[in-house]
Amino acid sequence: MRKFIVSILAIILALGLTGAGALAYFQDTETSTGNTYTAGELDLKVNDANPDVWDDGCSGTWVLTDIVPGAGADHVDTVTANVYLKNVGSTTPDHLEIQASIYLDEGVGVVESDADPYSTATEMAKKIEIVSMTYNSSLLLAYWLNDADGDGVLTLNDMTYDPDDPVDPNGLDDLSIPLDGSFGSAFTMSLRWIQDDLDDNDFQGDTLELEVHFTLNQDAGQ
């Protein structure tokens, strides 16, 4: 009996040694390093004077000084200017959209005829008519810009509406991306004081500041 038990223990020990030896494999591990993930860039540059100088912004493009009601009827107080756009980033955009922001310097106390020292930027923006507007040779005034405020005239105020607004969009959305080349694509706009029969004394001495925002979007859903 003792011999039988000793034989069983010998067999178990032998199996254990055999199992341990079966797991003794060689192994060599190499590592792939330097793996990086770099996001692409949408980088819109603009200029309004020198086609060789592209920057993140430009200033003083559309300026009207000492404008008066009535003169616009003969296009006397009209300003026309261009902004050129170019994408210098590594990612191809899907479309361009345009929206404006407006601010009013009331100029309180400049003249006594300005009886309302609380005029708003919206009120004065509705006085600045957009005579013409083009981008990439497209007539934006005729086919894109909406009368978003519903006053029957296309003015700077209409540009302040969100292009993505589902109810009252300004219409300046899904525009073609800027062209390649040294000049990119031109956005051209002509402005004048609107000709109407309303009393505009409340705007005497006031200054309206306009910012035009050009936004490149990567996806069609933006």
The model carries a pTM of 0.81
What residues does 212 pair with on adjacent strands? 100
Which residue positions in the chain have pLDDT lower than 50? none
What residues does 5 pair with on adjacent strands? none
- Torsion angle of alpha carbons 216, 191, 103, 56, nearest 10°? 30
pLDDT at 112: 55
Q: Rounded to whole angstroms, how far apart are CA atoms 136 and 177?
A: 9
pLDDT at 13: 57
Are the CB atoms for 145 and 81 separated by under 8 Å?
A: no
Q: What angle do CA 181, 186, 189 make, to 5 degrees?
A: 175
pLDDT at 151: 94
Closest CA to 115 of 9, 212, 203: 203
Per DSSP, the three-state class of 162 is coil
Q: pLDDT digits over 150-182, tens only?
A: 999 999 999 999 999 999 999 999 999 998 877
pLDDT at 177: 94
Q: What angle do CA 189, 41, 138 make, to 5 degrees?
A: 25
